[in-house]
Homo-oligomer: A and B are copies of this chain.
């Protein structure tokens, strides 16, 4: 019998295998460990740090025939920092490992550095370390670090496993822009600047992360894999089912114009790399968010507890019908089982 390759497993199964393997290691000082967007750790009482690592790989995260190193630098920083924004942090530092080809033009190297630099300026964070290595495949790996907001000596983290029944499901901005931009980037005939810009230059939502946490939001994730996929992560971790109202998903008018309403909704549901925050909140918390003038869009509800041994159930509702989603869909790096 031939041996299985990792391509025959889903990314999440492989991660699960790793998580189990490392369960025996002492978690000295960690408050939140593997399994969320970032890990939260503390060296002393009432000070907590959060960290997350993320890679950008040639021909996986971008098409090498259309490489724009400024954008790759920008995007790799924002993607990594987005994970700690989803935990409630505004971010403070990154370290960055660049594995680059020997024949990379030096002007391209400078573009990469400029993209990283400008993203850091925008996000108000510093690069405090790095590593350069030669490689046949260009890979940029960023570790993001930040401190966590606290209130009365209590750490205000936003976690995947804190969605409660009755909570509204909320997104922090219009979604599907990056997915639409990605599809347009493959076409020569349509040059829709706004959508392409969203795809090439996404923004990690560190501008609202801490304020959401202070408002009382306890459950959040960043939309990197796609709305449905990321909501499934929340539902799995919180052991709940959810309902999404298709019409309430905030879309870009440019995307509707080019792809039509249904297709624009599909893109918003399944395409990733928007880096908006997806979170849940009860009415009291929503009032506080309103008072802080943070923009938000309610798109659904956490409606029931997951039935033991049954799959998580997400209902997609529109005027006419209900579609039940019970399995993963979205971007996975390895195979589907």
Contacts and interface: CB of A to CB of B under 8 A. Distances in A.
B126 A30 contact: yes
Interface residues of A, number: 81
Interface string A305-337: 000000000000000000000000000011100
A29 B91 CA distance: 12
A127 B38 contact: no
Interface in A1-57: 3-9, 11, 14-15, 17-18, 21-22, 25-30, 33-34, 38-39, 41, 43-44, 47, 49, 51-55, 57
A54 B97 contact: yes
A130 interface: yes
A283 interface: no
Say how many copies of this protein the assembly contains. Answer: 2
Interface in A46-83: 47, 49, 51-55, 57-61
A190 interface: no
Interface of A: 3-9, 11, 14-15, 17-18, 21-22, 25-30, 33-34, 38-39, 41, 43-44, 47, 49, 51-55, 57-61, 92-93, 95-97, 99-100, 102-107, 109-110, 113-114, 117, 120-121, 124-137, 139, 141, 143, 145, 147, 333-335
